[in-house]
């Protein structure tokens, strides 16, 4: 069994924020794999389903970002799962917009949702980090993450979320590197068509070439 937890803040005022990209990813996963109806449990919105024959719990904590660990820890305790069976999907300021990295364990990088989860269950869980870019000034970070994605950013956001949902089952098979490679290929800009120099065949900005980051 896997638990996939997307991080974000509850309520319509936060729904489109960059900080809520983890919620957005879980919503696409639930829809793509036809999970059961959502219900309130563990101080979270929970849906159950199957991905590549692996029973999977999709979870969105309703405790606000800074207290995400409470809901995540309650779910792991109930299902008697080790942290290694948890995948947390979250925004990452220190990655360029549209890039992803996968990592198990490590620090929280100042992310309050990860800090809360670490405090409740320790750091030995998987993270799918979705790059949202950095505003360039630390004093602008709060306003930047708590603001909707710009219209232009949605050109890479939707294909990236689709690719994550399509390939998330690789974790059940121990294929985190394969997951990153497939997401990178799916979101890479299409090559120009022969005979039409200067005209791109695709519009996606794409993810970074895959690299298994375990450091």
Tokens of 85: 């069976």
Q: Which of 17, 19, 33, 111 is catalytic?
A: 19
Q: 5 phi and psi, to 5 degrees?
A: -110, 120
CA–CA gap between residue 11 and residue 76 (Å, rounded): 24
19 included as an active-site residue: yes
Residues known to be catalytic: 19
């Amino acid at each position: 069994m896997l638990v996939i937890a997307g991080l974000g803040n509850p309520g319509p005022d936060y729904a489109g924020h960059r900080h809520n990209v983890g919620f957005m990813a879980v919503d696409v996963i639930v829809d793509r794999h036809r999970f059961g109806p959502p219900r309130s449990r563990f101080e979270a919105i929970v849906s159950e389903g199957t991905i590549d024959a692996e029973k999977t719990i999709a979870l969105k904590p309703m405790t606000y970002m800074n207290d995400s660990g409470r809901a995540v820890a309650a779910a792991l305790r109930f299902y008697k799962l080790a942290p290694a069976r948890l995948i947390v999907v979250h925004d990452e300021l220190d990655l360029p917009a549209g890039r992803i990295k996968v990592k198990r364990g490590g620090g929280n990088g100042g992310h309050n949702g990860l800090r809360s989860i670490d405090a409740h269950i320790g750091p030995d869980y998987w993270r799918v980090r979705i790059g949202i870019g950095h505003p360039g000034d630390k004093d602008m970070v709060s306003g930047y993450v708590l603001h909707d994605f710009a219209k232009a950013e949605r050109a890479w956001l939707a294909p990236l979320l689709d690719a994550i949902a399509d390939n998330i089952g690789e974790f059940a098979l121990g294929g985190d590197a394969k997951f990153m490679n497939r997401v990178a290929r799916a979101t890479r800009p299409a090559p120009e068509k022969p005979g039409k120099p200067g005209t791109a065949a695709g519009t996606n900005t794409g993810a970074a070439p895959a690299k298994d980051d375990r450091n």
